[in-house]
């Protein structure tokens, strides 16, 4: 379908250490859940309320899996950018179809950024991205040398 977009951006904290598993093809996959919260003041009672949502994240990108395995732990604050995906599976005990909705980081539009700066050493602002490397990707280049080519 032309003109469609499937993109998810979240900032949240990990609820547990990531789980790293080997797939049948020998590649690794990382799985973890992050929590996002919103808070508001209840109009009737005046008390502060909070709602937390949990999001499942699955990473197939080998480079990002390695970063997660080495640096990301329970409680880490991360920014993830990926695609929303729902998969269907059968529950082994009941035989019923189950569904799981996940944020999948795979391919060129995936991004994982560690936002914590607890260890202010060389990797305090570690950013690991997987983005397209098209020839005209550097659009923020210095344009002062292009002034000579403008015809007016």
* Residue in 80, 124, 129 with CA at minimum distance from that of residue 103: 80
| pLDDT grade for 1, boundaries at 50, 70 and 90 | low
Is residue 137 pLDDT above 50, yes or no?
Answer: no
Tracing tokens 């994240």 back to the chain, one arrives at 57
Q: What digits encode the pLDDT tens for the residues 51-67?
A: 999 999 999 998 899 99
Give residue 107's pLDDT.
82
Q: What's the mean pLDDT in 75-100?
A: 93
- Is the distance from CB of 58 to CB of 102 less than 8 angstroms? yes
Q: Using DSSP bridges, classify how beta strands 77-90 and 110-114 pair: parallel, antiparallel or unpaired.
A: antiparallel
Mean pLDDT, rounded, of the chain: 81
Q: Which carries the bigger pLDDT value, residue 71 or residue 127?
A: 71
- Distance of alpha carbon 90 from alpha carbon 1, whole angstroms: 29
**C-beta separation of 59 from 19 below 8 A:** no
Contact (Cβ atoms closer than 8 angstroms) between residue 32 and residue 19 = yes
Domains and CATH numbers, the chain: 1-38+48-118 (2.40.50.140)
CB atoms within 10 A of CB 130: 19
């Amino acid at each position: 379908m032309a003109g469609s977009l499937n993109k998810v951006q979240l900032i949240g904290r990990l609820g547990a250490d990531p789980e790293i598993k080997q797939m049948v093809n020998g590649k690794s996959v990382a799985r973890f859940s992050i929590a996002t919260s919103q808070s508001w003041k209840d109009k009737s009672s005046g008390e502060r309320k909070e709602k937390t949502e949990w999001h499942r994240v699955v990473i197939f990108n080998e480079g990002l899996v390695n970063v997660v395995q080495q640096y990301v732990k329970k409680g880490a604050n991360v920014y993830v950018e990926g695609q929303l995906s729902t998969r269907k599976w059968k529950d082994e005990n009941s035989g019923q179809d189950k569904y799981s909705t996940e944020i999948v980081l795979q391919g060129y539009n995936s991004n994982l950024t560690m936002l914590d700066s607890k260890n202010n050493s060389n990797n305090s602002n570690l950013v690991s991205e997987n983005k397209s490397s098209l020839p005209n990707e550097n659009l923020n280049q210095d344009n002062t040398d292009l002034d000579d080519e403008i015809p007016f």
